[in-house]
Chain A
Amino acid sequence: MLEGGKIDSKQAILLMVAMVLPTAFLSVAAVTASLAKQDGWISILLATLGALLIAWLAVSLGLRFPEKTLFQFPEVILGKWPGKVVAFLYIWWYIHLNVEVLRQYGSFLVAAFMPETPISVFMLLIMAIAAYAVRNGLEVYSRVNELILPLILVSVVILNILAAPEMSMKRLLPVFEHGAVPIIKGAVMPTAWMGEIVTMAVLIPYLNKAKEAYRIAITATLIAGFFMLITQLADVAIFGPVTAAWLFPGLDAARVIHLANFLERLEPVVMVIWVAGVMIKISVFYWAAALGSAQWLELKDYKPLVLPVGVIIYALSIMAHDSLLDLFAFLGMFWGPYALTLFIVGMPLLLLVVAVIRGQGGSRH
């Protein structure tokens, strides 16, 4: 096996949550509010439903080949060369995903905290840590995540509670002001976010109990959906429909906290959440990309590929966008449809249908 580690169901759930949540926590409200205004929370609910379907899709596909990852079973399903192409596209997708996440990460730190520091410094440090984690394997960063994620979730809840005095539920009204279409449009981006649960198809061979994969994927999606929902509700309840004007409403929500002349200026907490969470997120996709490349090239070990893949991600993310606005325009306009149609729904569905028709892989049990 390329990756020797095995993780248990608890770790897998936490990992899948950490893979979705950290980036979403800061900016999901802005993305949905720009389309669905104050009805963003309905978009999130829709997105969670969509993500549940995607989770079901990915796990059904993965469980047909419990010994193989997303980068290996397309070959079985589609034949050698078409399969290789699909696997290659997935490797590309993981690299691209990481490029965008990394860029977003750096942009946030530059925009919100240290405008005079070059973005490459932020990205280099986090990539170094992620590379160290990925080199040490799945088990290691799962353990790190086990420490970090509960702290992140608790801090998110505490931040929202502390911001409660500034909230007003009236800002969530009226419901359905502009009808259903903006809400559905607003659901696209969060679905793409939560649809990253497709990574389950990479993770299944490394689970202690592969049978629990459905439970893992669904629990993780529900937890992620729940936290997205409360963040969305809180942010809109604080800022109203203008939430769309902020780049990082999560950060601004923390800025308004002002308690007893003592608890104020809680942005550093947001920074901690962001850095730690994104480190895990980057590690997961980085690991998937490195592991996928090794499996695609049929190597014995993925560790020699950690550095090259990391360099590619780092270089691409420096070149990818000219500015923060460029990045957000790209994510808002292009990313949702691109990721959803091709990688999150399209190809898994195609693979599953072909596998079912050709009767390949084990049954669901």
Chain B
Amino acid sequence: MTRFVKPLRVRLFGRRKKGSGQDNSPKDLQKDKVFSDQELQNLGLSPDLQANLLQVREILSECSDVVFREFDFAQDERIKLALIYVDGLVDKTQVSDQILRSLMLDAPLVEQGGEFTRARAFMLIKKKLLPMHDLKETNNLGQVIDAVLEGAGVLLVNGHACAIINYSRGWEGRKVEESQTELVVRGPREAFVETLRVNTSLLRRKIKNPNLKIETMKLGEVTKTDVAVVYIKGIVNDKIVAEVKERLNRIKIDAVLETGYIEELIEDSPWSPFCTLLHTERPDKVAANLLEGRVAILVDGTPYVLTAPLLFVESLQTPEDYYQRWPVSSATRLFRLFTIIVSLLAPSVYVAIITYHHEMLPTALLLSMAAQRELVPFPVFVEAFAMEFTFEILREASIRLPRQVGQAVSIVGALIIGEAAVRAGLVGAGTVIVVALTGIASFAYCYAASMSIRLLRFPILVLAGILGLYGVICGVLFILVHLATLRSFGVPFLSPVAPLNTGGLKDTVVRAPWWAMLRRPRLIGMANPQREAEGLKPAPPPAGRKR
């Protein structure tokens, strides 16, 4: 009878014995307890190693990546040590060579013939036996836990209510590579990576100046992400730094996984389609911005860095503008301004003209347009809207698609949606041309600005469909007024054009030669406006002077 009942009972209620067996573990190990930060900060270390280990095990229970390595100091069984670290976050060779080996095997070499006592051992370890670059001592359990999770190896010594934190971090990360999203023909190619320290080092390498300040803080109640505020003292406007720090300190959020989280929490106009903080993955761009008096915000775990304040003209600028000779850069900038206008207005102006203002077209063009559109069944507004929508689908798909199917999508996109749709008489060829032009133009300037403009294209298209050119003009005026209301950390978004600052115009739609850009942007780098010496314009030596 029991042969049948037992399996049934087990199946129904589970193995009670095994379940109760787990309760036999030490009574004070409370696995289900959730520790708050506050609680951890208040916990101290005890001189008893086993008590400390029990406490840490309790806090870090069910964290299978945490390693507790208990060993004896210098083969001496009286002095017990324990090393706690997270596997994968520490540099394994460092841990085994410079910590374990030196404490277990090399200790007698350092202190030849001496007797190790508990009291001396601790001093010896700290002073002589840990050839690490960064050591810290603490008697707070919270700090121990934080250090372990940050990738440090924490050494506990029996008999001492003190822990030694060895910063032996070394985890797998991406190498510094060429920027994938902001390409230049001429200029440095490196881009930021996901590790904060590497990123700050990239900046420090460009600006070897003691005034380059890198202040760090932790954001994210759960993630405890490192965030660095970087600026150049003496150039930056101190009020802006204070404002940035104040806004960062206000943030209480569980996680900061990307600078985007911070951007949305500290920007000036949360409802605007325009971003008022720049994000970039190019160290040279960040360095140049710092040198103009801006503040950068770096976040661990993302290659994108925020800089503030942002001006609208920055969407016309690329790092390359400053490396190429100025006539070329200026021409390209004017061209970029044109592409902004095209990407915002081309479809709506097309719709307005075809629908309401035929008289604006030369007769020959009007006739050929009319001939094309004769067979198209939809009004041009519907047509343009549908094509724009299609283009957005293509664009979104081409970002997400797995690389192997890329070719298929581009063939489908180019041939079927363009060529075939026109041949089938679903859309006019003119619409396809205009939409394609708009799409391409929107990639010719700053990507972030192009996203905002892409959002605004559709309302203006609707206005054009309803009111013709008048609608377009009103839409543009509305956008202009909106842009004029924006501020980025106190600096008007449209400066130096409005409010006008003639000196600042040298770096807007044109880029003046370097020898003429004597000053930093007025509202940003006010603290130290002079950028370079005067009279740097290259010229042959005056005739009277002999070499």
Contacts and interface: CB of A to CB of B under 8 A. Distances in A.
Interface of A: 8, 10-11, 109, 113-114, 117, 121-122, 125-126, 129, 132-133, 136, 140-144, 146-148, 261-262, 264-265, 267-268, 271-272, 275-276, 279
B498 A276 contact: no
Contact of A136 (B360, B485, B497, B499): B485
Given A8-B499, A144-B498, A125 B359 contact: no
A113 B481 contact: no
B357 interface: yes
Nearest to B356: A114
Contact of B480 (A10, A122, A147, A268): A147
Nearest to A113: B470
Contact of B474 (A10, A125, A133, A264): A125
A144 B485 CA distance: 9
Classify the interface of chain A: helix, strand, loop or mixed: helix
A129 B482 CA distance: 10
A271 B473 contact: yes
B477 interface: yes
B480 A148 contact: yes
B473 A143 contact: no
Contacts of B473: 271-272, 275-276
A261 B494 contact: no
A264 B362 CA distance: 8
Contacts of B478: 129, 132
Nearest to A145: B498
A126 B463 CA distance: 13
B151 interface: no
Scoring A8, A133, A148 by chain B CB atoms within 10 A of each residue's CB, the highest score goes to: A133
A147 B481 CA distance: 10
B481 A132 contact: yes
Contacts of B484: 133, 136, 140-141, 143-144, 147
Cβ-closest 4 pairs across A and B: A146-B498, A143-B498, A143-B484, A136-B485
B481 A146 contact: no
A125 B474 CA distance: 7
Nearest to A14: B500
A276 B494 CA distance: 18
B205 to A, nearest CB: 39
Contacts, number: 79
Contacts of A133: 481, 484
A240 to B, nearest CB: 26
B497 A146 contact: yes
B477 A279 contact: yes
Contact of A143 (B357, B468, B469, B499): B499
Contacts of B471: 125
A143 B312 CA distance: 13
Given A121-B467, A268-B469, A271-B470, A146 B500 contact: yes
B474 A129 contact: yes
A144 B494 CA distance: 9
Contacts of A8: 499
Interface string B354-371: 001101101000000000
B367 to A, nearest CB: 15
Nearest to B357: A268
A200 B529 CA distance: 34
17 contacts: A10-B500, A114-B467, A121-B467, A125-B474, A129-B478, A129-B481, A133-B481, A141-B484, A142-B499, A143-B498, A143-B499, A144-B480, A146-B498, A272-B473, A275-B470, A275-B474, A275-B477
A141 B468 CA distance: 25
B465 interface: no
B23 to A, nearest CB: 67
B194 to A, nearest CB: 40
Contacts of A114: 356, 467-468, 470
B303 interface: no
A113 B357 CA distance: 9
A129 B359 contact: no
B481 A265 contact: no
Given A113-B468, A271-B469, 16 more contacts: A11-B499, A109-B470, A114-B467, A114-B468, A121-B467, A122-B470, A126-B474, A133-B481, A140-B485, A142-B498, A143-B498, A146-B500, A147-B497, A264-B362, A271-B470, A276-B477
B242 to A, nearest CB: 21
B153 interface: no
B309 interface: no
A352 B481 CA distance: 37
Contacts of A268: 357, 360, 469
A113 B360 CA distance: 12
A133 B500 CA distance: 18
Contacts of B360: 265, 267-268
Contacts of B428: none
A346 B9 CA distance: 106
Interface in B489-547: 492, 494, 497-500
A8 B495 CA distance: 14
Nearest to A283: B481
B470 to A, nearest CB: 6
Contacts of A141: 481, 484
B328 to A, nearest CB: 25
A11 B469 CA distance: 29
Nearest to A262: B362
B498 to A, nearest CB: 4
A189 B319 CA distance: 54
B5 to A, nearest CB: 80
Contacts of A132: 478, 481-482
Contacts of A279: 477
A341 to B, nearest CB: 35
A272 B469 CA distance: 9
Contacts of A276: 473, 477
Contacts of B469: 113, 268, 271
B150 to A, nearest CB: 46
Contacts of B482: 132
Nearest to A116: B356
Contacts of B477: 129, 144, 275-276, 279
Contacts of A272: 473
Contacts of B359: 265
A268 B356 CA distance: 12
A208 B477 CA distance: 26
